[in-house]
């Protein structure tokens, strides 16, 4: 199967950055720089910035996403936001299982699975994050860790629903550290994920499945990473906060 048959997805993850006003300004700056890109362009923003982002991105090729959602439809979960609420607000994408949620907010493979279920039920597109910590890589158990995270998160997901899921392979040791996986390391793990999709579903679905790399991707290393056969895009933190850097990554993908 030809890699070019998978449309790359370049997604920014703003994390806890930008006020609504800053959101409007940054998206207005990005819009002309990414216009006409032959790949999917997504910006995942804090909940408080969603309306400003949707309004600033209107009429452009930039899609907006949230950075998390709860697994329940509604109820007594102070401080949480449901997938239905995001859908109703007009948000098409949501990140689930980011390593910062796993590391600082008690996210487990099982809660990731439940959030994925809720997001799919609400009709959202999911960017599911998986990745090993440094100690796991050093122990040589990266494949096991990533396969388990993926397997649990996808349990209960049907083959038809796979078209609404992207997986972002984000080695935790490469996030925000300036340390990037080499293109070969990134491709090796993205291939492990693709092989698992083939094992769990089918080769046809695996060939069409979009797998991103994330972890210190920037305007200088993006092209080499995105050239790899099994790397179909990027999930970008720091570099998605600067219009010119993010646009350069989008250009490298398209
Ligand atoms: P950085 O690009 O800042 O390393 O962040 C990666 C990331 O966590 C994207 O979700």
Averages of pLDDT over each 10 residues, the chain, 254 residues = 85 98 98 97 98 98 98 98 98 98 97 98 98 96 98 97 98 90 97 98 97 97 97 98 98 93
107 CB-near residues (< 8 Å, 6+ apart): 97, 98, 101
CB of 176 closer than 6 angstroms to any ligand 1 atom? yes
Q: Which domain holds residue 178?
A: 3-253
| CATH code assigned at 7 | 3.20.20.70
Q: CA–CA separation, 234 vs 226, rounded Å?
A: 8
Active site residues: 98, 170
DSSP per-residue letters across 27-64: HHHHHHHHTT-SSEEEEE--GGGHHHHHHHHTTSSEEE
The DSSP code for 158 is -
Measured by CA distance, the residue closest to atom 1 of ligand 1 is: 237
The total domain count for the chain is 1
How far does residue 76's CA lie from ligand 1's centre (Å)? 31
- Nearest-atom index, ligand 1, CA of 174: 4
First to last CA, the chain: 19
- Nearest-atom index, ligand 1, CA of 235: 9
Say what the pLDDT of residue 1 is: 56
Q: CA–CA separation, 220 vs 214, rounded Å?
A: 14
156 CB-near residues (< 8 Å, 6+ apart): 113, 117
CB of 233 closer than 6 angstroms to any ligand 1 atom? no
How far does residue 66's CA lie from ligand 1's centre (Å)? 15
- Nearest-atom index, ligand 1, CA of 176: 4
């Amino acid at each position: 199967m030809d890699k070019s048959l998978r449309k790359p997805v370049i997604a920014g993850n703003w994390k806890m950055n930008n006020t609504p006003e800053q959101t409007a300004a940054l998206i207005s700056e990005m819009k002309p720089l990414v216009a006409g890109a032959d790949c999917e362009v997504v910006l995942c923003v804090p909940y408080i910035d969603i309306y400003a982002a949707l309004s600033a991105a209107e009429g452009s090729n930039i899609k907006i996403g949230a950075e998390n959602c709860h697994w329940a439809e509604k109820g007594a979960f102070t401080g949480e936001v449901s997938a239905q609420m995001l859908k109703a607000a007009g948000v098409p994408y949501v990140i689930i299982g980011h390593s910062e949620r796993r590391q600082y907010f008690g996210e487990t493979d099982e809660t990731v699975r439940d959030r994925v279920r809720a997001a799919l039920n609400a009709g959202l597109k999911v960017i599911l994050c998986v990745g090993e910590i440094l100690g796991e890589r050093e122990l040589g158990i990266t494949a096991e860790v990533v396969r388990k995270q993926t397997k649990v998160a996808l349990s209960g997901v049907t083959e038809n629903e796979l078209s609404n899921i992207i997986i972002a392979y984000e080695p935790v040791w490469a996030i925000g550290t300036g340390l990037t996986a080499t293109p070969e390391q990134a491709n090796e793990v993205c291939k492990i994920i693709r092989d698992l999709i083939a094992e769990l579903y089918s080769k046809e679905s695996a060939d069409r499945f979009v797998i991103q790399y994330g972890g210190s991707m920037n305007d200088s290393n993006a092209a080499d990473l995105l050239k790899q056969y099994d790397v179909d895009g990027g999930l970008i933190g720091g570099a998605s906060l600067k219009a010119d850097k993010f646009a350069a990554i989008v250009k490298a993908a398209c």
